[in-house]
Chains A and B, each alone.
Chain A
Amino acid sequence: MSTPLLQVDGLGISFGGLKAVAGFNLDLEPGCLQGLIGPNGAGKTTVFNLLSGIYLADTGTFRLDGRELRGLNPEKISHQGIARTFQNIRIFQHLSVIENVLVGFHHKTRYSYLTTLLRTPAFFREEAEWVTQAQVLLERVGLAHRENEVARNLPYGDQRRLEIARALATGPKVLLLDEPAAGLNTTEKATLMSLIAKIRKDFAVAVLVIEHDMKLVMGICEKITVLDHGEVIAVGTPKEIQANPKVIEAYLGVA
């Protein structure tokens, strides 16, 4: 086995007296598609907020490629190579679809304030380059035909795919997807999941996905981490997870 790309060690956070997440461990191998599941309120999204720097962990560490990231703000973590989507879609509503993706390229764009004001050839050159790259990304998620629409007007499923394209624009090594299939019907879900599987290969990113639909999770993930009451109760392949009595207990309760 290769060394983990993302190595999370004993991550924990409390809100007041409530321990939302405690002692969270996770190893994400390069190129792996891993699921993070658990009953409602288990702390899955909190884990994502910790890993993307929105919350500052009280305890523990997490390293990407051996570099410690705990304590960095979301902006810096994104520069290091962790990108995410949000459970309750957070696209830039009033920007156009392509502009949403272009924001993802922000920290790679270089031209100066002076170039902006004078519109030198460098401005047009760089803008054109990023627009082309954004179009490629939109093509990949199947939104090429909507690039000039206002993001707010997109159907729900397209908004979710736009979030993925925008996250990919930041050039991540690790992609955190928070319930990407929520609110979609069965066929849409299946398409989205195959899209995620393809993206992971083409962009060589490791994906950590939160999803409630067990059939889908079991179907595409190589490895699954199960969270309950803020603690990891099981890690393993889908088969192992399905047979794990602790997992069954967490989901169904004790008979």
Chain B
Amino acid sequence: MSPQVAQLIKVTVFVAVLWVVSQVLDQYLNAYYLRVLVNCGIAGILALSLNLINGCAGQFSLGHAGFMAVGAYVSAGLTTVYPATEFLHSALGVGLAIGIGGIAAGVAGYLVGLPSLTLRGDYLAIVTLGFSEMIRVLFLNIQSLGGARGMYGIPTQSNFFWVYLWLGITFLVLWRLLKSFRGRAILALRDDEIASEAMGVNVSHYKVVSFAISALFAGVAGGLYAHYQGYIDPPSFDFNRSVMIVIMVVLGGMGSLSGAVLGAFLVTILPESLRVFEDFRLIIFPLLLIGMMLIRPKGLLGHREIWEFFKRGKT
């Protein structure tokens, strides 16, 4: 069997299984748990995409919520602001809108990536933070997009199936990218920028491309979020959210794709599972984070992928 046919079969099986699981969960899981799971999936897409910039390319973005906001507002703007038609509220219409939102975010990512050509580390982090705050304030002042009141009545077409399908797509795209010569160039750039350049790698290209691809998926996550919640407002995309996404990536292990997803699930589920402690959960959660970082300073998985831990004798 050729690898292409094997790929096609794998993808089909994945989608089919996902569809069945989503139907079962819809029927039998209580709404609260389902909501947490969907939030985990959205967080997973965000963490995976940020991992490309922070973990793989070795740049530092603190503005991921900004890209998410672009995707959320553009897609919700398309489906909600114009006179509602049946098409715009259908799954296909919403799906298209989310895609367009992702592309818009990708363009924003390209623009924000440009400063990364001259800035690095802390300085780049400040630029990206500035960008995301700018986006937030911009949406705060666009009255046709709800302004400070936020946007209501967004068609809630996104659900478990769509979120996890996109999580799968994000994972697959990033995995294949990283396992190609372009991915090796991105990782080389992280390890040693000067040496990469001297080996003929177009460093500028890969920095900007990392930002654009990463922002594209963050935008998709934003669109899925908007069409799941049915309501968005500028404070949903503030500095705190950017920081939470950074925490997911760092906790999971910089540069590890499965680590990013694991980090996203933990950071989303932990605060929920601590609800029994009421107000104290806001103290216990950070304590747990500190504890985990002390025990595993390189993140839970480090640079490795989760399945590498199950292969014996291989490190």
Residues on the A chain within 8 Å of B303, using CB: 94
* Chain B interface size, under 10 / 10 to 19 / 20 to 34 / 35 or more: 20 to 34
Residue of A nearest to B181 (CB): A109
**Shortest distance from the beta carbon of B41 to any chain A beta carbon, whole Å:** 21
Interface size on A, residues (CB 8 A): 41
Counting residue pairs across A and B whose Cβ atoms lie within 8 Å, the total is 100
Residues on the B chain within 8 Å of A117, using CB: 173, 176-177
Contact, CB under 8 Å: A116 / B3:
no
Contact, CB under 8 Å: B3 / A104:
no
Residues on the B chain within 8 Å of A120, using CB: 4
Contact, CB under 8 Å: B187 / A119:
no
Contact, CB under 8 Å: B200 / A170:
yes
Q: A53 CA to B188 CA in the complex, in Å?
A: 19
**Shortest distance from the beta carbon of B275 to any chain A beta carbon, whole Å:** 39
Q: Is A225 an interface residue (CB 8 A)?
A: no
Contact, CB under 8 Å: B181 / A102:
yes
Q: A53 CA to B200 CA in the complex, in Å?
A: 11
Q: Is A107 an interface residue (CB 8 A)?
A: yes
Other-chain contact of B176, A86, A95, A116 (Cβ < 8 Å): A116
Q: Is B182 an interface residue (CB 8 A)?
A: yes
Scoring A90, A120, A127 by chain B CB atoms within 10 A of each residue's CB, the highest score goes to: A90
Interface of B is mostly: helix
Contact, CB under 8 Å: B180 / A116:
yes
Contact, CB under 8 Å: A106 / B195:
no
Contact, CB under 8 Å: A113 / B182:
yes
9 other contacts beyond A78-B200, A103-B201, A121-B4, with CB at 8 A cut-off?
A75-B203, A78-B198, A78-B199, A84-B198, A91-B192, A92-B187, A94-B303, A99-B187, A103-B199
List 11 A-B residue pairs with CB atoms under 8 Å apart, sorted by A's residue number: A54-B198, A78-B199, A79-B200, A86-B198, A92-B191, A103-B184, A103-B188, A106-B199, A116-B176, A169-B199, A170-B200
Residues of A within 8 A of B (CB): 52-54, 73-75, 78-79, 83-84, 86, 90-95, 99-100, 102-107, 109, 111, 113, 116-117, 119-121, 123-124, 127, 130, 166-167, 169-170
Residues of B within 8 A of A (CB): 2-4, 7, 173, 176-177, 180-182, 184-185, 187-188, 190-192, 194-203, 255, 303
